[in-house]
Amino acid sequence: MLSHEDNQHISQVSPGTSVGDLFRRFWLPALVPSEVPHPDSDPIRLRLLGEDLIAFRDTNGRVGIIQNNCPHRGASLFFGRNEEAGLRCVYHGWKFSVDGTCVDMPNEAAESDFKQKVKARAYPTREWGGVIWVFMGPPELASEIPQFEWARVSDDQRCVGKYVVEANYLQVLEGSLDSSHLGFLHTWLSSRGSTPTMDKTPRFFTLNTDFGLTIAARRNVHDDNSTYYWRLTQMLMPCWSMIPATPGGNISVVGAVPIDDTHTYSWKIIWSVKDPFTAEQIAGAWNGSDWSGSRSGAGPSAVRSIGISYPLLQPGTLLPAANARNDYLVDRDVQRSKTFTGIPGVSEQDLAVQESMGSICDRSKEHLGTSDLGIIATRRRIMQAAQALEKGEEPFAAQHPEVFHVRSVAQTLPREQNYEDAPEIAAAAVAQI
């Protein structure tokens, strides 16, 4: 468990906080391109790391992310006119380019140079890999975007989506790093009402890496005393987790990007290492055809899954339709007879447990066991990086985007191979690429 002070320390991401400063050293995913779909499309509100922002795509197709309030009198630029390569405040007509430069101040005298003295806070953006990225730290520290493999494959080999989780980022990150819960939360019941055969007591190992952390979960294999089943999950700084996949299979990553201390964008991205996805597969990911079956609880979907699903959303929002206000649509009859939770959809099952901890989990009241080794190591890694930054030590991964070019792995291997300390199997996962 964490002390109350440490829990506050690791949970807070607003400007001026140590973990918030750590996040600001990394390029973060901000938008999917469809949110600002074409030049001079409508500006949209965006909140990241506790800051209220406005995003827009200008006449030339460049994406700007700037402060919400006009530097003049504080009116929201959300109501601004997106026109002629800038966003114009409707209150007095001040106009700003994507880099925050004031390019027009029509209510001031023509001979005035006042506009040269005013600039809106704006952050650099780049569009790559089906994502619009933003860098919110000191501009001189902006390195290259993390070289994830998913951003380097062709567009038809990748599926990208995000939704809002009403909880602190760490709850989302830890949920995707926790291999132990797979034997419970997402399982189907057998005809006798018990979960399928699975080793529910994996042994965990961790390894610090340049990109963050590798968490290895070793399970016994049913009726086979000669092999172990290994799942290696990577935690990539500051908020990514790569879900284990069989060699050559589709790979997925989750990004827990803080909106503020109590809300998170859960980015889910999956990519194929060889074949493009079909339109049917992409549609299946958005309507709940995931590896645990359909949302109806009727059984696995006929659609060949790409290995991930997104929650159904409330129309016109990024808020899941299943939420705390409707108990995540839990069906107790389904819970008794078909699935462990009775909650439809893997993402919804994750939402229920992550949000039910509270907007910020009180980790001072936890009782952590050996299965929580990866969670403990993740918290330590983030806190140590934040503390090092306070002392002037920049995070290594932020300045070395190449370290993100790794894969996760899930594989059965002979027991006689010595993986007790996990580095060899971790190296094997990296060597897949």
Q: How far is CA 160 from CA 275, 404, 430, in A?
A: 16, 18, 23
The dihedral sign for the CA sequence 115, 120, 123, 126:
negative
Question: Hey, which residues does 125 pair with through a beta bridge?
Answer: 134
Q: Cα 390 from chain centroid? A: 25
Task: Report d(CA 99, CA 125) in Å as an integer.
Answer: 9
Phi–psi pair at 249, nearest 5 degrees: -85, 175
- What pLDDT, on a 0 to 100 scale, did the predictor assign at position 342? 94
Q: What is the pLDDT of residue 308?
A: 78
Residue whose entry in the numeric block shows the structure tokens 């005298």:
109
DSSP string, 19-43: HHHHHTTSEEEEE-GGGS-STTPPP
Q: Which domains does the chain have, with CATH numbers?
A: 27-141 (2.102.10.10), 149-430 (3.90.380.10)
Helices (H) and strands (E) in the chain, counts: 8, 19
Q: What's residue 199's pLDDT? A: 84
Closest CA to 408 of 268, 291, 247, 276: 247
Position 302 scores a pLDDT of 39
Model pLDDT for residues 310-355, shown as the tens digit of each residue: 999 999 999 999 999 999 999 999 999 999 999 998 999 999 999 9
User: Residue 393 burial by CB count (10 A; 0-12/13-18/19+): exposed, middle or buried?
Assistant: exposed
Average pLDDT, 10 consecutive residues per value, the chain (433 residues): 92 97 98 98 98 98 98 98 98 98 93 90 97 97 96 95 97 92 84 56 90 92 86 95 87 96 97 90 74 46 66 94 96 94 93 97 93 94 98 97 92 72 57 54
Nearest CA to 406 out of 214, 143, 178 is that of: 214
What is the per-residue burial (b if ≥16 Cβ within 10 Å, else e) of 139-169?
eeebeebbebbbbebeeebbbbbbbbbbbbb
Q: Which amino acid makes up residue 142?
A: A
pLDDT at 112: 87
